[in-house]
């Protein structure tokens, strides 16, 4: 059990709410065949005696027929909005989790039951201080779609424009904060007690997910993303970005133009409006490449549900909650990485990893180079129309990660964006091959940037600036270290295996000692009051208070001992 500190003890209501949610999460995890992980992480104590006996001993033959990756996906689906989003973000990080799990988590569905219209009305009216009738000429009560974060309704403005209003789920922030706190506790326990889980870097995954989700539930960020993306493509007739209405937006809802288009994968609808699927495949791929390598700001979740086609063949993108960005330096690195794959130049790729410090001292560089080259050569033996670029890049990533090369997160988002667009393009036009577009586009851009004198001067400036900065800071840092050494303030911290668990055990003992002392004190006060009370008048009020407090603290102590199965 994770100890209940004196400060936490004063926040008992929140503690019990978190404990109830923790139990609900652990029950779902156990029912999907992961009871052994719960026990090894020391989390089974939180289930309570009765549920521990039921869940950890029930027959799981049926659920165990599914693969472990499928069971992880089912856990996320059953646990609700926070966990669905966690799974979707993890699906973009093959550097943190196995590729087999990445591919399974990409199947996560974000369709959930809608919430009541009265909650929609309350959210908008609270955030604007105005009634719904004053803001909109009409507002459909039935939602167009409902997802884990929000649901979308059609409406009409007073000026006549048709819009959609995306409204956040009620109490979403509170639910997410509770789930994130519990997730971090579970991640800490897994990291401390289950060695084979450490390779997945679960704590880093939870921390990154927490930052990403907090940004996504502030709809002002999505408004800013929309405005920036529309400005980038203002002169591109092949793309339409919805118009927004900032005065009808807040942290919890956003209003934008209604897109009267057809789904990009609805081939019958494309033919009805006279649009060539090949044109959409080419333009969609061009948009993704331009957003990454021309503007450095791209849609990080370009699934088919976010692509619509307007009459005339213009593509419309929606849902700008999850975006990626790359600076000029990272763009050069991305170009080098992708060009090395397209040109079958593993030497270029490995040199890039070495330059960026992504390869640790335990990496067998020769073996890495050989495996990556083997993957690329297998694909180079096929004709262009046989190459599945998504599987191709996924296999390269799998080899790279297996050799402990920790790829930057933005590189992985770029890869996901490119491979997702490739999948959409091939779904609407099976004969389309994006490599025919990507190779000349990326190679030409790479050569242009490599030969550009301005880019060279910037690179030289960065190197000189780094050395000047180092020359300025090193003497000051050395002087500071020597000063601390003279004063005896220089300390060396050495972490021993199992230190976290030993410290946690000490905290538990200390916390139990505090609760025991409080219990004895309250019981002593109660006994004294009862012994000196008048039989006729009965015990005074403070005796009842002391008795209740003693009973509460004693119950906390007893439950702590039962959950941990001993002192």
pLDDT at position 1 is 39
pLDDT of residue 35: 82
Which residue ranges make up each domain of the chain? 6-110+183-215, 111-182+218-258, 261-474, 505-563
Q: Which residue among 301, 319, 332, 410 is the active-site one?
A: 301
Q: DSSP character for 33?
A: I
Q: Exposed, middle or buried, 51 (CB in 10 Å: 0-12/13-18/19+)?
A: middle
The one-digit pLDDT tens for each residue of the chain (567 residues) are: 344 444 444 344 555 667 788 888 888 888 888 888 888 887 777 766 556 666 666 667 788 889 999 999 999 888 887 788 888 777 776 666 777 888 888 788 666 789 999 999 999 999 999 999 999 999 999 999 888 889 999 999 999 999 999 999 998 888 888 888 888 888 888 888 877 776 666 777 788 778 878 888 899 999 999 999 999 999 999 999 999 999 999 999 999 999 989 998 899 999 999 999 999 999 998 998 999 888 999 887 777 888 899 999 999 998 898 888 888 887 888 788 778 877 777 888 888 877 777 776 677 788 888 887 777 777 665 554 555 656 666 677 777 777 777 666 667 677 777 777 877 887 888 888 777 778 788 888 888 777 665 554 555 545 555 556 656 666 776 777 677 677 666 665 555 555 555 665 666 666 667 767 777 777 777 777 777 776 666 677 777 777 787 777 777 666 666 555 444
Q: Give the pLDDT of residue 54.
A: 62
Distance of CA 545 to the CA centre of its chain: 46
DSSP 244: B
Per the annotation, the verdict on 301 as an active-site residue is yes
| Residue carrying structure tokens 């004190």 | 521
Q: How many angstroms separate the CA atoms of 292 and 438, rounded? A: 12
**Residue 438 structure tokens:** 């990507």
Ramachandran class of 254: left when φ > 0, alpha when ψ lies in -120 to 50, beta otherwise: beta
Cα–Cα distance for residue pair 70/64, rounded to 1 Å: 10
Three-state SS sequence of 39-95: HHCCCHHHHCHHHHHHHCCCCCCCHHHCCHHHHHHHHHHHHCHHHHHHHHHHCCCCC
Computed on alpha carbons and rounded to an integer, the radius of gyration of the chain in Å comes to 29
Block residue for tokens 């897994």: 190
How confident is the model at residue 202, as a pLDDT? 74
For residue 130, how many other CB atoms are within 10 A of its CB?
11
Answer left, alpha or beta for residue 170, where phi above 0 means left and psi between -120 and 50 means alpha. Answer: beta
The superfamily (CATH) of domain 111-182+218-258 is Phosphorylase Kinase; domain 1 (3.30.200.20)
- Which residue pairs from 116-121 have beta carbons closer than 8 angstroms and sit at least 24 positions apart in sequence? 117/141, 119/170, 120/151, 120/153, 120/165, 120/167
pTM for this entry: 0.69
Exposure letters 394-420 (e unless 16+ CB within 10 A, then b): bbbbbbbbebbbbbbbbbbbbbbbbbb
Residue 120: how many other CB atoms lie within 10 Å: 24
Enclosing H/E stretch for 157: strand 150-157
- Looking at residue 222, its pLDDT comes to 93
Q: d(Cα 22, Cα 15) in Å, to the nearest integer? A: 10
Q: Quote the pLDDT of residue 489.
A: 65
């Amino acid at each position: 059990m994770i100890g209940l500190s004196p400060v936490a003890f004063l926040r008992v209501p929140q503690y019990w709410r978190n404990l109830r949610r923790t139990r609900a999460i652990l029950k779902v995890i156990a029912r999907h065949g992961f009871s052994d992980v719960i026990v090894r992480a020391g989390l089974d104590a939180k289930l309570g005696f009765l549920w521990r006996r039921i869940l950890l001993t029930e027959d799981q033959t049926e659920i165990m027929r599914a693969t472990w990756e499928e069971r992880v996906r089912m856990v996320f689906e059953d646990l609700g909005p926070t966990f669905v989003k966690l799974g979707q973000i993890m699906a973009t990080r093959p550097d943190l989790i196995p590729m087999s799990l990445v591919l399974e988590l990409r199947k996560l569905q974000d369709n959930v039951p809608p919430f009541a219209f009265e909650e929609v009305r309350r959210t908008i009216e609270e955030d604007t201080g105005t009634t719904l009738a004053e803001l909109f000429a009409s507002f459909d009560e039935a939602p167009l779609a409902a997802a884990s974060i929000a649901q979308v309704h059609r409406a009409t403005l007073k000026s006549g424009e048709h819009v959609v209003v995306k409204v956040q789920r009620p109490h979403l922030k509170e639910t997410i904060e509770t789930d994130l706190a519990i997730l971090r506790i579970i991640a800490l326990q897994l990291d401390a007690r289950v060695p084979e889980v450490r390779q997945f870097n679960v704590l880093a995954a939870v921390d990154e997910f927490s930052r990403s989700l907090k940004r996504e539930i502030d709809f002002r960020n999505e408004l800013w993303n929309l405005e920036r993306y529309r400005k980038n493509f203002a002169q591109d007739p092949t793309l339409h970005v919805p118009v927004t209405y900032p005065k009808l937006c807040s942290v919890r809802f956003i209003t934008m133009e209604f897109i009267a288009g057809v789904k990009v994968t609805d081939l019958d609808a494309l033919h009805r409006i006279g649009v060539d699927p090949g044109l959409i495949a080419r333009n969609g791929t061009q948009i993704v490449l331009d957003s990454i390598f021309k503007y450095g700001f791209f849609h990080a979740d370009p699934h088919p549900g976010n692509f619509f086609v307007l009459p005339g063949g213009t593509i419309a993108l929606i849902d700008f909650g999850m975006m990626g960005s790359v600076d000029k330096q990272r763009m050069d690195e991305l170009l080098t990485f992708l060009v090395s794959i397209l040109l079958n130049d593993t030497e270029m790729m490995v040199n890039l990893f070495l330059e960026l410090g992504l390869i640790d001292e335990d990496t067998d560089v020769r073996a890495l180079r050989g495996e990556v080259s083997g993957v690329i050569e297998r694909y180079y033996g096929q004709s262009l129309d046989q190459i599945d670029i998504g599987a191709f890049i996924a296999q390269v990533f799998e080899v790279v990660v297996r050799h402990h090369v920790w790829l930057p997160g933005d590189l992985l988002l770029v890869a996901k964006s490119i491979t997702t667009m490739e999948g959409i393009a091939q779904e609407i036009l099976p004969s389309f091959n994006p490599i025919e577009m990507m190779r000349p586009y990326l190679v030409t851009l790479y050569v242009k940037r490599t030969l550009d004198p301005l880019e060279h001067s910037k690179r030289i400036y960065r190197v000189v600036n780094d050395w000047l900065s180092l020359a300025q800071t090193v003497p000051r840092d050395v002087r500071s270290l020597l000063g601390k050494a003279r004063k005896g303030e220089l300390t060396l911290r050495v972490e021993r295996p199992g230190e976290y668990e030993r410290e946690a055990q000490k905290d538990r003992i200390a916390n139990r000692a505090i609760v025991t002392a409080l219990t004895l004190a309250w019981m002593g006060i109660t006994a004294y009051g009862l012994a000196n009370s008048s039989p006729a008048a009965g015990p005074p009020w403070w005796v009842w208070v002391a008795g209740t407090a003693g009973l509460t603290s004693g119950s906390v102590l007893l439950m702590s001992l039962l959950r941990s199965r001993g002192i």
